[in-house]
Amino acid sequence: MAATVKVVRLERTWKDQIYLLEVLRGLGLTLKHMFVNMWGRRATPTIQYPEQTIEYPKRFRGVHRLMQRDDGRVRCVACMMCSTACPARCIHIEAAETDDPSIEKYPAVFAIDELKCVDCGLCVEACPCDSIRMDTGLHMPPVLTRGAAVLGKIDLLKLAAPSVATQGGEKPGWQSKPDDPRFADR
């Protein structure tokens, strides 16, 4: 059985047909918007960006920073977890040995290419010692050359503060918590 198709045509009155009245109505609408925006209450949702900014959410991922130990040395132990986790492969680390037996390694070179970075935050998740963070709230400033977008260890440490997390040294280790009853059976 053939399907029956019901054709519904738009009912157009002569007012619609001559089109001119509808044009005037449309003009009325756009002009109303224009005059309201000119003299009345502005409906523009625009944010005049460099002068006006919106407040970013607390978990906004900005430019990276490298956290410090209490003595100001970098917390990073050059474990390569962040550079392994990085989907954009923008973290370059060259490890070196330290004399401190509780640390063993530190990054001699730690560079992040902020142009390659996709701001995913996986490096922060991967870091076992709270060394790398993206909580500066800063945008990467514009650069004139691509090389200038590569932030080194010194640049990243300049944004840093001592981390509140404990790790190595004289303080209780961050991996074992002997005073905590939950760790009693370990």
Partner 1 sequence: MMDALVPIAWSLAKYLGLLGIVMGIVPVLTWMERRQSALMQDRIGPNRANIGRFRAWGLFHPIADGIKMFMKEDFIPAHAHKPLFTLAPIVALAPVLIVLAVIPYGPGMQAARLDVGLLFLFGVLSLSVYGATLAGWASYNKWAMLGGLRASAQMISYEVTMGMAALGALMIYGTLEPGAMVEAQRGGFCGIGHWGIFRQPLGFVLFTVAAIAETKRAPFDLPEGEPEILGYFVEYSGMRFGMFFMGEFAEVVVSSAVITTLYLGGWIMPWDSAVAVGAPHALYVAHGVAMWVGKVFVLCALQLALRWTLPRLRYDQLMRLGWKQLLPASLANVLATAVIMVGTK
Scanning 23-31, 61-69, 156-164, 170-178 for contacts with partner 1 by CB under 8 A, the matching segment is: 23-31
Only one of the segments 1-9, 25-33, 131-139, 147-155 lies at the binding site for partner 1 (rule: CB under 8 A); that segment is 25-33
165 binds partner 1 (CB under 8 A): no
Q: Which of 15, 16, 21, 34 binds partner 1 (CB under 8 A)?
A: 34
34/165 with CB nearer partner 1: 34
- Closer by beta carbon to partner 1, 20 or else 144: 20
Largest CA distance in the chain: 93
> What does the alpha-carbon distance between residue 180 and residue 166 come to, in Å, rounded to a whole number?
15
Q: Which residues are at the interface with partner 1 (CB under 8 A)?
A: 20, 23, 26-27, 29-31, 33-34, 37-38, 43-46, 48
